[in-house]
Amino acid sequence: MIFATNFKTNNTRAYTKEYIQTLKEFVLKNDIKDDIFVFPTFTSLDMFELPSNIRVGVQNAYPVQNGSYTGEIGLEQIDEFGLKTILIGHSERRVILKESQELIVEKFNYFKERGFEIIYCIGEPKEIRDEGVDSAMEYLWSEFDGIDIEYEKLIVAYEPIWAIGTGVSAKKEDIDEILSNLRAKIKVPLLYGGSVKSSNIQEIESIKDCDGVLVGSASWKIESFCEIIKNGIKG
Ligand code: 13P
């Protein structure tokens, strides 16, 4: 299983340091070999000494070395911390920050060319899901326009927008249906995200084509992220 935590706009620099240290101790003590990703805020980035299966990444970046892009960071700022992992296409960036597919593709190609591990997010809104699986798939495939789905360092995260931050995950059958449709064309690992927590992780990880989870709110405290990992690996 892959366990990823997206901090979004949460946690301080001081707490992130403590969080990552505790995570590291937990992983070493329990001899956990699963891949674990942490996406902190920009202000909490640092050089972390970690076992190779724990990777820190950025939630976003502008596809440039450096330049005049107020409020953004580029490769120079990521390189300073030796980071090689990035989250691209999260629905909060697509919807709230109005990021276009064109810009998303630009980011994807820029970081792909530089060998980054990319967690690429897709997800449909409720009204599309309500139209049925065909509409949902059409919407989701459109979010792959211009994206190289064969990139060897790609991980895809399916996060239905209506299940994010609601406390109510998508139903197992619904996730199963979407992931198996994706699996028909996509060979890289597939994650599910949307109200994953320690009480539903076992059900989610039992889904045939689910290779892991991308967790928001239930992972912002280290104790609950560890609980998710513990329940997830023993299932
Ligand atoms: P929640 O786990 O809070 O629903 O968020 C999911 C998510 O958006 C992770 O990227």
Q: Sorting pLDDT into bands at 50, 70 and 90, what band is 168?
A: confident
Contacts of 165 (CB under 8 A, 6+ apart): 195, 216, 217
Quick count: other Cβ atoms within 10 Å of Cβ 105?
18
- For ligand 1, whether the C-beta of 165 sits within 6 Å is yes
- For ligand 1, whether the C-beta of 57 sits within 6 Å is no
Rounded to an integer, the average pLDDT of 153-175 is: 95
Contact 147, 120 (CB under 8 A): yes
Question: 30-64: per-residue pLDDT in tens?
Answer: 999 999 999 999 999 999 999 999 999 999 999 99
Å from CA of 91 to ligand 1 middle: 10
Question: 90-126: per-residue pLDDT in tens?
Answer: 999 999 999 999 999 999 999 999 999 999 999 999 9
Å from CA of 68 to ligand 1 middle: 31
Q: How far is CA 65 from CA 79, 190, 230, in A?
A: 9, 29, 39
CATH of residue 139? 3.20.20.70
- For ligand 1, whether the C-beta of 217 sits within 6 Å is yes
- For ligand 1, whether the C-beta of 204 sits within 6 Å is no
Q: Catalytic residue positions?
A: 90, 159
Structural domain that includes position 204 = 2-234
Contacts of 225 (CB under 8 A, 6+ apart): 3, 5, 19, 23, 215, 218, 219
**Of 16, 92, 77, 14, nearest to 50 (Cα)?**
16
| Terminal C-alpha separation, the chain | 10
Q: How many domains does the chain have?
A: 1
Sign of CA dihedral 1, 89, 194, 184: negative
What pLDDT was estimated at residue 234?
62
Quick count: other Cβ atoms within 10 Å of Cβ 231?
16
Å from CA of 163 to ligand 1 middle: 8
Q: How far is CA 34 from CA 55, 132, 211, in A?
A: 11, 34, 11
Å from CA of 197 to ligand 1 middle: 10
Q: Which atom of ligand 1 is nearest to the CA of 215?
A: 2
